[in-house]
Structure 1
Amino acid sequence: MSQRRVSLLMLVCSLVGGVIGFLVGEVMLGKLSGEIPQWLLMGLYFGQYAFFVGLMCLIAEMISPRLNGVGWKQRYLGFSWKMLVPSTFLMVGAVALLLQLLYGSSFQQASGANNIIMVLDTSGSMQSSDPDNQLFKAAADMVQRMDNDMNIAVVTFHDQTNVLQPLTELNSQAAKDEVVKKLLQYPRTDGGTRIDLALQAGLDQLQANQMANSTVVLMSDGYSDLDVPAALAPYKQNQVIVHTVGMSQIDADGTALLQKIAAETGGSYFNVEHADQMTGIFGQIYDMSRTDRNIVSERTGATEDSMFYAITRVVSVLIIGALLGLALGLIFDNRHLAKSFTIGGAVSGLLAGLVLEMGLSSIDLLDMVVRLLACSLLAVILTLFTLFVPASTSGGASFAKRRLNTRQSPRALDAGNQSSKRFDL
């Protein structure tokens, strides 16, 4: 005999657990992003989320054992507590860790840049738009912030180009100080604006070394004629992102050109209203270049519209949802509930993955709301599937009871089966 049941208390408690997991996850994203690898961060994120959902579901069934039966509470509650952490935090966290490694792998685009080429405008117009030479101060600050595994090159341009710093490894503070010194002591120059030459000079630095894992930062306040498709073809072919910084109030045509360059290469355009803003903008660009993809955050750059990574994200959350359902079945030691929760978890994971893929943006508050919705869907929908997948009320529902029965005599086995009819689903 099979029955379809739903525990409203478990539904509510599961939602509470999902919200707690969301809140803890937001703290982790804020505190640990950039401090630990993304694969470890996602393992901890989904591990703790699964733990809180499992904990609250276990508490709900302890209070009102509607799904698993009074017999479970009397005989197997201790076993359920022992299974809580291994089934949720460890199992789900470990699989989430592996899925993040897949999602963050560079099948199409490197996760973070190892080479940054700064291409800086030193034309005559910069003397009026940046009288205090904030551009080079911002560039120097960016160099000081860089990790020791980074490589940096600096190209200046007006109507000619100059390689101020060939691509070099910032493997020590002395190396950083040498580049900073060149930036801060660079003299003022005059002349026009040749963005075409600037892009070619930046490309020359990359081709002389390596194109992979590279980002170009182009800053200019002017405009020049440019065959955009031809100039950007090598960048796009090698998936090199170009972030651009401009001053729209100085030259609207130049701004449009810089926006197009950024859009064509998967980069971002940053508008400067006052020269003293450039330090903060360069810091943002550096953070973007070093931020790896993770399953619960917006995907930017050349892979932003990638169907491969979109599918990978959705499938990853689907697998995590199915594992969360299986974890609940293991906690309750009930193979019928495991089947129900696993199917429900897969469906809820699919919906949560679609919400993340379609809803995440560059707006922090909106992204938090999207993650809250995804976490809530994942927690609630799987608990509803006991309405759709019936649980048997005959013996054999419990993994532990099946193991126990195999060690009993035929007479004890028969007695156990008769007894289980009173306690099993």
Structure 2
Amino acid sequence: MSQRKLSLLMVLCSLVGGVIGFLVGEVILDRLSGEFPQWAVMGLYFGQYAFFVGLMCLIAEIISPRLNGFGWKQRYLGFSWKMLVPSTFVMVGVAAMLLQLLYGSSFQQSSGANNIVLVLDTSGSMSQSDPDNQLFKAAADMVQKMDSDMKVAVVTFNDRTEVLQPLVALSSKATRDEVIQKLLNQTGTDGGTRIGLALQEGLAQLQASNQLENSTVVLMSDGYSDLDIPSTLAPFKQNHVLIHTVGMSKIDAAGTSLLEQIAAETGGRYFNVDHADEMTGIFGQIYDMSRQDRNLVTERTGATEESLFYTILRVVSLLIIGGLLGLALGLIFDNRHLAKSFTIGGAVAGLLAGLVLEMGLMSIDLLDMVIRLIALALLAVVLTIFTVFFPASASGGATSMQKRMLSGRRSAGALEAGNRSSKRFEL
């Protein structure tokens, strides 16, 4: 007889496993991103998450075998323990690696950059709009975050320009530290604002090193400057050099309009700053856009930010991961009825988790952590409640593997009984 069942203990334990997987996953993202390829990071991320969810579901059923029956606990528990790691960490982790490889591939033109030129305003007005020198602290944080295969140059400007740091590769820690120290030691503001002259110097740094390809300029200013836009921006547009701009509309509306136009003309983006202490986060967003290093659980930025293709690809990837997680639970319990309900439930849960990630991520660290927690908790809970919709056999729904094991035991018992009967007959 088949019955619809729900194990509230398993729902709770699965949620606990999902939260544990989330916490471990955040450590993996923080420690390994940038050190290892994203496909490896995502494989570890979802592999360990699946393991903890599977482990807690198994513990719940051991405590109270409501779904699979006491017969499973007595006869097949050892098999379930053996299947835990292969069906969760290995199967789901490998699938996540492959899906991340697909999601991280470029199927359209990317705005990725290997060279970044920081063009930073040191005019007299910055002493009022940025009294704590947050601009150069934000620039230093950006340099600290850059990958070792990148190059950076720093140009400061007011009435004139100064090359604080010529274009240099960040391949060594000593070089990176030297650039950061130059930025942190930068003090003093004076004079007017000549944005055109600053952009020409930034372009000259790229031209001198023959590094125009895959390059981005980040321009920050709080003021306005007379600028011949067509002639100034022509070489940037010809060489496909993007200019991302950062301005403060509360300080100078005319300057904001100019920065917006510069960004739009070159294919970059304009970022508005209301308070100087926001600049670190803004510079971090710009760096993420420049690298285009997409992964399944963080905000997608740059040229593919609004891409419908990558939106669908992320959601479908989470759907597949959720379905495989459900199938993993079915394999652990070796029960075809549970495998069906968990797989369908996991696919639905993965779909919901993918939508939460796609709509909620905003490149704000704390908020994005909350969004990932919601998505992973949802995935863990929804897949375990789908046993309500699919009836399971009261006998535990033994699969063919279980039946063969039981049949073998019965055959051995019958053979032993036959041998005893033969001996009695002979006697």
- Verify the 8 A CA contact 2:4 2:387 in the aligned structure 1: yes
Supply the AA of the counterpart residue of 1:269: F
Q: Which residue of 2 aligns with 1:47?
A: 47
| Structure 2 residue identity aligned to 1:375 | L
Report the more deviating stretch, 390-399 or 340-349.
390-399
Q: What corresponds to 1:319 in structure 2?
A: 320
Offset of 1:245 from its aligned partner?
Answer: 3.1
Contact 1:241–1:302 (CA under 8 A) maintained in structure 2: no
What is the aligned counterpart of 1:271 among 261, 270, 273? Answer: 273
Residues 159 and 192, structure 1, Cα contact 8 Å, conserved in 2: yes
Task: Quote the offset at 1:42 in angstroms.
Answer: 2.0
Deviation at 1:188, TM superposition (A): 9.6
Q: Note the alpha carbon deviations across 1:181-206, whole angstroms, 9 max, x for none.
A: 998899999775244x6556656766
How far does residue 271 in structure 1 lie from its aligned partner after superposition? 3.0
Q: Relative to structure 1, is the Cα distance of residues 158 and 103 closer, same or farther in structure 2, using a 3 angstrom cutoff? A: same
Corresponding residue of 2:107? 107
Secondary structure of 2:152's aligned partner:
strand
Cα distance in 1 for partners of 2:362, 2:141 equals 28
* In structure 1, C-alpha distance between the alignment counterparts of 2:340 and 2:161, rounded to whole Å: 66
Question: Is this contact kept in 2: 1:221–1:247, CA < 8 A?
Answer: yes
Instruction: Map 1:13-412; keep pairs closer than 5 Å.
Output: 13-108=13-108, 110=110, 113-121=113-121, 146-154=146-154, 167-172=167-172, 193-195=194-196, 199=199, 202=202, 208-212=210-214, 214-224=215-225, 241-248=242-249, 250-259=251-260, 261-262=262-263, 265=267, 267=269, 269=271, 271=273, 286=287, 289=290, 292-392=293-393, 397-404=398-405
The amino acid across from 2:244 in the alignment is H
**Contact 1:111/1:292 (<8 A) preserved:** no
Secondary structure of residue in 2 paired with 1:244: strand
Tell me how far apart the structure 2 counterparts of residues 211 and 404 of structure 1 sit (CA, whole Å): 64
User: Does the 8 Å contact 2:326/2:339 carry over to 1?
Assistant: yes
Q: Verify the 8 A CA contact 2:142 2:284 in the aligned structure 1.
A: yes
1:383 is paired with a residue of what secondary structure? helix
TM superposition shift of 1:365: 3.6
Give how far 1:360 is off: 1.7
CA distance in 2, matches of 1:35, 1:90: 22
| Range 80-89 or range 152-161, more displaced | 152-161
Deviation at 1:331, TM superposition (A): 0.5
Q: Does 1:4 align with 2:4?
A: yes
Secondary structure of the 1:292 match is coil
Matched-pair contact (CA < 8 Å) for 2:72–2:396? no
Measure how far apart 1:62 and its partner are: 1.2
Aligned pair in 2 of structure 1 residues 156, 83: CA closer, same or farther (>3 Å)? same
Aligned mates of 2:269, 2:241 — CA distance in 1: 9
Q: Would the aligned equivalents of 2:42 and 2:100 in 1 still touch at CA under 8 Å?
A: yes
* Structure 2: segments with no counterpart, 5+ residues: 415-427
CA apart distance, 1:387: 2.4
More divergent stretch after superposition (285-294 vs 88-97): 285-294
One-letter code of the match for 1:295?
Answer: L
CA shift at 1:64, angstroms? 1.9
- The amino acid of 1:258's aligned partner reads L
TM-score (norm 1): 0.76
Amino acid at match of 1:102: L
Counterparts of 2:239 and 2:340 in 1: how far apart (Å)? 46
Q: Distance in 2 between matches of 1:102 and 1:181?
A: 39
| Partner Cα separation in structure 1 for residue 355 and residue 60 of structure 2 | 29
Give, in angstroms, the shift of residue 321 of structure 1: 0.2
Amino acid at match of 2:299: E
Q: Residue in 2 aligned with 1:419?
A: none
Distance 2:19 2:132 in 1: 49
- Distance of 1:186 and 1:376 partners within structure 2: 47
Q: 1:384 to 1:224 in 2, by over 3 A?
A: same
Q: What residue in structure 2 maps to residue 418 of structure 1?
A: none
Q: CA deviation at 1:408?
A: 8.0
TM-aligned CA distance change 1:237 to 1:327, over 3 Å? farther
CA contact (8 A) 2:121 2:193 kept: no
Return the offset for 1:163. 7.5
Shift in Å at residue 112 of structure 1?
A: 5.7
User: Is this contact kept in 1: 2:285–2:363, CA < 8 A?
Assistant: no
Contact kept in structure 2, 1:315 and 1:353, CA below 8 Å: yes
The answer to whether the Cα contact below 8 Å between 1:193 and 1:222 also exists between their aligned partners in 2 is: no
Which residue of structure 1 lines up, in the alignment, with residue 425 of structure 2? none
Cα 1:323/1:191, change in 2 over 3 Å: same
- Mean Cα displacement is larger for which, 344-353 or 374-383? 374-383
Q: 2:421 matched to which residue of 1?
A: none
Q: Which moved more, 1:154-163 or 1:102-111?
A: 154-163
In the alignment, what sits opposite 1:416?
none
Between stretches 122-131 and 70-79, larger displacement belongs to 122-131
Contact 1:267 / 1:302 at 8 angstroms: preserved in 2?
no
Please give the alpha-carbon distance, in whole angstroms, between the structure 1 residues aligned to 2:239 and 2:352: 34
Whole-Å separation in 2 of the counterparts to 1:99 and 1:188: 50
Aligned residues: 410
Distance in 2 separating the partners of 1:224 and 1:301: 27
TM-score, length of structure 2 as denominator length: 0.76
Kindly report the root-mean-square deviation, in angstroms, between the aligned alpha carbons of the 2 structures. Answer: 4.4
- Does the CA-based 8 Å contact 1:355-1:374 persist in structure 2? yes
Q: Which runs of 5+ in 1 are unaligned?
A: 414-425
